[in-house]
Amino acid sequence: MEILFWEENSVDKKVTIIMSAYNHEDYIESAIRSVLNQTYKNYKFIVADDASTDHTAEILMKYENSIDEIHLYDKNSGHGRGREFILQADTEYTAIISSDDFWEQQKLERQIDYMEQHPECGACFTWCDEIDEEGKLTDIQIFRVKNRSKEEWMFHFWKNGNCLAHPSILIRTEVYQFLCKKNISVFRQLPDFYMWVKLIQNWEIHIIEEPLVKFCHHKNNQNVSAFTAVNCIRTDMENEYIWYKIMKEMSDEYFKEAFRTMLINPKAASREEIICEKFFVLCMSPVMAIQSAAALYFYDVFENPDYYKVLCEKYGYTNKMFYEQEMQIGKGRYQLELLKESSVRK
């Protein structure tokens, strides 16, 4: 069952702000105020509480006259409620915030100004500071990246993993809805990453290189990003499949530009050669889960006689070498020099 509270004056807004809430009684008031205190005011604010068992819903209702829509659910979905509201949004832009995040006052205004001046840009992110439960900066700050081209973003993901903070995004709604429909919603640890890969391949993005968002990392496993053995295993499994799927779907032209410095044969041109090059690029990633994706990709190559012939004859790659690499996956590394030395440049 869903209980809905809404305001009547939410028409003709330019931005839809969607907040997902769950058991954040210590943080949600600060998160709500950070939205209400934005210098940019032309927005529709939607909050969905996913059956919190603490006082989150009670605190939320204190702001029923300031929030356009409040959705209270009595059954937890297990993955948040944001996606359904993204698909229903009817404004030009959409922004996302969790109930334990915090926005600086000019966050939306800065992003709107940039997007209005750059119609080619699909989404605008900002730097994001990771904080602990006491509001102190953590030692790990991965959400401070520089602007790059579409192809450079792909290479950066391959080398470093995801570095875009969802609560910092302002995105054109039509772009967001397209990505959500294409996204694989079953992922728990990396629900956004496949979507970001699709985003950077099709649209320009921009990073405002200032920390305008604070993201809370919980030690007591309150969020899915908590560093636990189960989450680490699940992250690796999802990352492995995502990169397998990324390489299968990536166009040859985009691949060659994004990974031009990593090609075994820089002159590779045929479809068969590009398929083999994609396999090698997966092998050479410093990220263990991406190396694991190479094993999945190899099976596809092996099953296609044309691909496998090129792999063996032009690159000198054998089943024995694959078996040796496969053994190294569990240790987190590959014998990269063996791979390079045994491959034939042409």
Q: Are residues 190 and 310 in the same domain?
A: no
pLDDT over 80 at 73, yes or no: yes
| Residues 219, 156 share a domain | yes
Same domain, 60 and 78: yes
Domain range for 151 is 2-226
Q: Given the DSSP bridges, would you call strands 102-103 and 204-216 parallel, antiparallel or unpaired? A: antiparallel
What tens digit of pLDDT does each residue of 103-125 get? 999 999 999 999 999 999 999 99
Domain boundary residue among 198, 226, 254? 226
Residue 217 banded pLDDT, cuts 50, 70, 90: confident
138 and 77 in one domain? yes
Q: Please give the pLDDT value at position 330.
A: 56
CATH of the domain at 24: 3.90.550.10
C-alpha–C-alpha distance, residues 12 and 312, integer Å: 61
Note the pLDDT tens digit of each residue in 264-293: 999 999 999 999 999 999 999 888 888 889
Same domain for 169 and 262: no
As a whole number, mean pLDDT of residues 68-91 equals 88
Are 100 and 128 in contact by the 8 Å Cβ rule? The answer is no
> What's the structural domain count of the chain?
2
Confidence of residue 192 (pLDDT cuts 50, 70, 90): confident
Residues 80 and 185 in one domain: yes
- Residues 23 and 45 placed together within one structural domain of the fold: yes
Percent of the chain with pLDDT over 90: 62
Instruction: Select from 167, 195, 226 the last residue of a domain.
Output: 226
Q: Are residues 321 and 201 in the same domain?
A: no
How far is Cα 340 from Cα 113, in angstroms, rounded to an integer?
48
pTM across the whole model: 0.86
pLDDT-derived band at 331 (thresholds 50, 70, 90) equals low
Do 37 and 180 have their domain in common? Answer: yes
- 75 in the same domain as 9: yes
If pLDDT is split at 50, 70 and 90, which confidence band does 23 have?
Answer: very high
Q: Average pLDDT for residues 181-198, to the nearest whole number?
A: 79
Please indicate, yes or no, whether residues 131 and 212 belong to a single structural domain of this protein. yes
Q: What is the pLDDT of residue 80?
A: 67
Q: Determine how many CB atoms are found less than 10 A away from the CB of residue 52.
A: 21
- For residues 195 and 290, membership in a common domain is answered with no
Phi-psi region of 135 (alpha: psi -120 to 50; beta: other; left: phi over 0): left
Last residue of a domain, one of 175, 201, 226: 226
Q: Could you identify the residue written with the tokens 């030692």?
A: 139
Lowest mean pLDDT among 5-9, 77-81, 336-340: 336-340
Task: Give Cβ neighbours of residue 296 (< 8 Å, ≥ 6 apart).
Answer: 240, 241, 244
